[in-house]
A and B are shown apart, each in its own frame.
Chain A
Amino acid sequence: MATAIADTAAGHTVPALPSAAPPTRPRLTLIGTALASAAVVMMFAGLIGVYLSYRSESLSSTGKWLPTGTSIPLTPANTAMFTLVLSVITMQWAVYAVANNDRPHAYLALGLTIFFGLCFINMTSFLYTQMELGVAKSPAGALIYVITGAHLALVVIALLYAALMTFRTLGGEYTGRDREGITAASMFWYVTVAVFAVIWYAIYVTK
């Protein structure tokens, strides 16, 4: 490729080089990430299933779910959801940039994704301070804190994974021809966001 650029600069036109053979490495990182994502999805499916079951039982027997005096403001939750949706866009931007060997934009997009993730953590912790929900006072408190807390942990893991892949991209490991690592990190991030979308609706919206 460097040869082709030099020849063009000297006024010659040369046919494009044939594309290189695909990388010989099996796409194990992608497979492993897909498996981890499946396990994570199932864990949250189980947790949310238990939550909905207890909520339904409580509503049918007592007519209420959240303890008296508890309020879960929707605005911070909506903002958190919107932030994660934005992070999906920046993450896909990063994948696109790496696919095009566009490193500056890849760094920018990955940096923004990590920034949005940190903002999400900040917003969730702010929401905790606003909820007035005791963890040990009702089943609702226990279940909500476990589910949202587990998701916070998942966001941290996904951020670390994205950061690791960012450093590898900085180191030149991933390129347009072999972008498996960044694709895998993006897949895990999308799963993290998708899980939050369900939590957002099941817990924060329907309350």
Chain B
Amino acid sequence: MAVIESPPEVATEGATAVPDRQSTGLAGFLGSGDHKVIGRAYIVMSLVFGLAAAVTGELVAVERIDTSRLNVLSVDTQFQVFTFHSVSATFLFLLPLILGLAFVVVPLQVGAPTIAFPRAAAASFWAWLISGGLVVTSYLINGGPQGGRSRGVDLWIVALAALLAALVLGSACLIATVLGLRAPGMNLGRVPMFAWSMLVAGTMWLLTLPVLVGVLVLMYEDHKHGRVTFGESSGMYDRIVWAFRHPQVYAFAVPVLGIAGDVLAVTTRSRQAFRGVAMGAIAAFGAFGFGAFVQLSVYGDAVKQPAYIGISLLAVTPVLLLLALWADLFRRGGFSFSAPLLFAVAAVLMLLVGVLAGAAGAIPALKVANTEWDAAVTHYATLGAVIAVLGGLYWWATKVIGRPAGQALGGFAALSLLLGTVLLAFPNLISAFLRAHSKSTKKGVFQALAIVEVVGGGLIAVGVVVAAVNLLGAMRRRSDGGDGRDEVPSDPWQGHTLEWATLSPPPLHNFSSLPVVSSPEPMLDQREEASA
């Protein structure tokens, strides 16, 4: 066939198109496809939902104190409050908080002018926000698992499925950004650690959360028509609980390793040695976080299977390997204390304890599977991730909020979160072990452990609130350069990667020019060339 049409020489850019000018005000926010605006919105709203998750978590912890005089919740609402805490802490707080930070930082790290599919990214935020509101509403009208109102239960299922779909959509935008919008010269081996960890984490979310959506679709259909397969709503939580226990929670904690990798390398002023090994370890940890097969309601013996035990034991290896590589960074370079460093160390420590506890819990001889032990592992891993992301907000504060954040209050928040996590999770390990192996333990011991948990939960809430208030307060603070102009350093940490090559806060299209990327640390290369 004769060719009579001339194809365009330069392809159109529908998948990356963002307007040249940023609208301001409410209309600008509502219609924005700028990844930084969407990311900030994710962060702020996830912190709001996080407050609800923290309050319900404390209520659940208080209820565990066995006393006849202290009944905060009625028997009917206890389980709903517990499930709301699980769902909101994971899908309304942790994952969107991670996505929010990643939405702002990852495109900058890979040198992209925008996030891939900016309109889909905006849709993911709005869909998540609306469906998150509906999840809360469903609980308020006596819905949720074991809810008393049938329509409330149906609303909970639909809203949760939509919420998960929104998070998967956001993850897909991030993955596509790392795979398709990297700066010239940046092959996958040169991707910064946080961006790499988000590629791994996003992939695992993309592969596991749709399984949960499928289960929810089944639950909805069954609940609407006869309830012959899954029965009444009381068993619903058992069908989705795999998403809140290990190994699935490891997939939510992968960004801990990426944030720590970036923060530690810059703080110690060293290049990451054996970078490929470090990236492989992060990928392996993500792969071990595939927990969709641990569906106890369908296959009750899943925790006795070699796959589950093997994954739980092997998940320790990549974390230990990364610890060894990061210890080498400290050995080779000096370091100075900063809030992000404290956050990073605290997060990695909590994750390490979590995977060690997960490995121990998988050993059948210990007899702690499906007990409070699992709750402890979940708390260590997910709170490790919360600590890491808050640390990331301090580290990239000039990019996220446009101002550096106060270090002293940040350090206090990091220590409060570290102590709170230990006090919240460790008593669970002790009580699970005692219940399995010491039948003569007095009731008072468990009472005391439950009180310690309440204190731990309170410290975590204090840490998150202090960190959030400190960050929001920094937004209002001006840092004048003496001439009255607001000056924010583009690179306050002497960073290694591309996000430090642009202004703080970054302009609409992120970069006016990019340095040549010929290694994983282009900014460090540039400084070394300038000083040579």
Contact = CB atoms under 8 A, between A and B. Distances in A.
Nearest to B168: A39
Contacts of B229: 54, 139, 142-143
A135 B225 contact: yes
- Describe B's contact surface by its main secondary structure: loop
Contact of A36 (B5, B13, B172, B214): B172
A42 B117 CA distance: 22
Interface in A40-70: 40, 42-47, 49-50, 53-54
Nearest to A26: B180
Contact of B217 (A23, A103, A146): A146
A140 B208 CA distance: 24
Interface residues of B, number: 47
B207 interface: yes
Contacts of B295: 49-50
B228 A139 contact: yes
Nearest to A181: B14
Given A35-B175, A173-B12, A178-B11, A50 B207 contact: no
B6 A2 contact: yes
Contact of A138 (B172, B218, B228): B228
Interface residues of A, number: 50
B228 A142 contact: yes
B181 interface: yes
A172 B5 CA distance: 8
A25 B12 contact: yes
B28 to A, nearest CB: 25
A38 B203 CA distance: 9
A24 B10 contact: yes
B75 interface: no
B2 interface: yes
Contacts of A141: 228
Given A28-B176, A42-B208, A103-B1, 17 more contacts: A1-B6, A20-B9, A25-B10, A25-B12, A29-B15, A31-B180, A32-B15, A42-B211, A43-B214, A46-B215, A49-B298, A54-B298, A100-B1, A136-B225, A136-B226, A136-B228, A172-B5
Interface of A: 1-2, 5, 20, 23-29, 31-32, 35-36, 38-40, 42-47, 49-50, 53-54, 100-104, 135-139, 141-143, 145-146, 150, 172-173, 175-178
13 contacts: A23-B10, A25-B13, A26-B180, A26-B181, A39-B207, A42-B208, A46-B212, A46-B214, A46-B292, A47-B218, A49-B298, A142-B218, A176-B7
Interface of B: 1-13, 15-16, 116-117, 120, 168, 172, 175-176, 179-181, 206-215, 217-218, 221-222, 225-226, 228-229, 292, 295, 298-299
